[in-house]
Amino acid sequence: MNPKSLLENLHPELILLTASYLPLHHKPATLLSLALTNRKLHDIVSQCLYGSVVLRNDTAQILFQKIQIDNSLGAKIREIYINFGPGAMPSTVEPFIQLVIAGFLPLIHSLWIRKEIGYRMDNLPFFPVGFFKILLIKCPRLRALSVSGFVDYGVGELRASGLYDLALFRGFQGIGLANIAQNMPVGAANTDLEYMVRNIPHLTTSIRDLHIDLRKSDVSFPVSAIFSLIFSRLTSLVIGGISTRLSDDYNSIQSEAMDFWRCHPYLERLELIDTMNKEILFCRNNIDVEFLPNLKHLKCCFSNALPLANILHHLSTLCIIHSTNSHIRELRSSREGSK
């Protein structure tokens, strides 16, 4: 039997279910290929062809123009992933802002916006004052937001957009803020990012995926900004740029961190991505094989991986930042010595 006819004979619900499991960056091209196969598959696949869109400079501009012409396309979109690289112009960015304000993206539940670091987006209106309040009003189903790469804003501009007012995102399942900073005068306190960190407690009741990377801000925040909290649903945690201060007591930091790990046994992904981080956030003497029982993916420096030698064999993936061959041998001997 022709394999193509087998696919066509599946119930439409099964085809749509299979399509939902396609890897994100392969989904648009794969669905488009299926839609072009014949009319029957086109009618089925077109229901989710615009469900998840992955856009760069040119493709973003083309899609935004299509939605402005045919507003019904915007209602089909559920997830938007936008990557602005070199060449992004006001004509690329402004249509997205206009679509949001006009309410043409009413059903999106996930929004991911990334600007590649290394070039400036001069004179672009990203993000206007109060934009994120408008976004939540116009996209009431939004439950996941990730913004990264915006390091060239002036003092107060990102805060004025509402991005740092995490109380707005109470009820969200995913929040990502990475590589964001302002052009600060030398020696000046970054009060905007301090305001954002103070608002993290608003996320504790609903957040599942929390990604905060402040390494580009050149500001150090106490680990207690995270470790003093209890997140009732947390399954993925990525931390960068949040570390200890010289005045902090090492033993109390480690104790607070260990209490945090014990209160979050459902963590599946953990990334401690301060490449120069010297703080050991795990106490080896208090770690047994039942520690973080659901952890499957770990990324950290060697000093934090070593105390976890007893549980590393449970992981699906392990990434040690700036690792060397000697580190691997030491992990092996530590694991064997603990048996």
If you write DSSP's letter for every residue of 80-146 in order, what string do you get?
A: EEEEE-TT--HHHHHHHHHHHHHT--TT--EEEEEE-TTS--TT---S-TTHHHHHHHH-TT--EEE
Lowest model confidence (mean pLDDT) among 104-108, 116-120, 169-173, 297-301: 116-120
* Sign, CA torsion 109/232/261/216: positive
Lowest model confidence (mean pLDDT) among 13-27, 114-128, 211-225: 114-128
Asked if 18 and 154 sit in the same domain, the reply is no
Asked if 20 and 56 sit in the same domain, the reply is no
Q: How many domains does the chain have?
A: 2
Nearest partner of 239 among 201, 275, 283, 287, judged by Cα: 275
Q: Place 218 in a pLDDT band, splitting at 50, 70 and 90.
A: low
The two structure tokens encoding residue 119: 């070039």
Asked if 21 and 141 sit in the same domain, the reply is no
- Residue, of 107 and 61, whose pLDDT is higher: 107
Asked if 279 and 289 sit in the same domain, the reply is yes
User: What is the rounded (10 degree) CA torsion for 332, 336, 338, 339?
Assistant: 140
Asked if 71 and 44 sit in the same domain, the reply is no
Residue range 24-47: average pLDDT?
A: 78
End-to-end CA distance of the chain: 55
pLDDT of 37: 82
Q: Residue 148 maps to which CATH number? A: 3.80.10
pLDDT of 246: 47
Asked if 22 and 59 sit in the same domain, the reply is no
Asked if 21 and 157 sit in the same domain, the reply is no
Question: 302: exposed, middle or buried (C-beta count within 10 Å: 0-12, 13-18, 19+)?
Answer: middle
Asked if 129 and 146 sit in the same domain, the reply is yes
pLDDT of 274: 72
Asked if 40 and 57 sit in the same domain, the reply is no
Residue range of the domain that includes 4 = 1-49
Q: Place 151 in a pLDDT band, splitting at 50, 70 and 90.
A: low
Asked if 189 and 259 sit in the same domain, the reply is yes
Q: How far apart are CA 62 and CA 106, in angstroms?
A: 19
Question: 104: exposed, middle or buried (C-beta count within 10 Å: 0-12, 13-18, 19+)?
Answer: buried
Asked if 145 and 283 sit in the same domain, the reply is yes
Computed over every residue of the chain, the mean pLDDT equals 82
Asked if 7 and 111 sit in the same domain, the reply is no
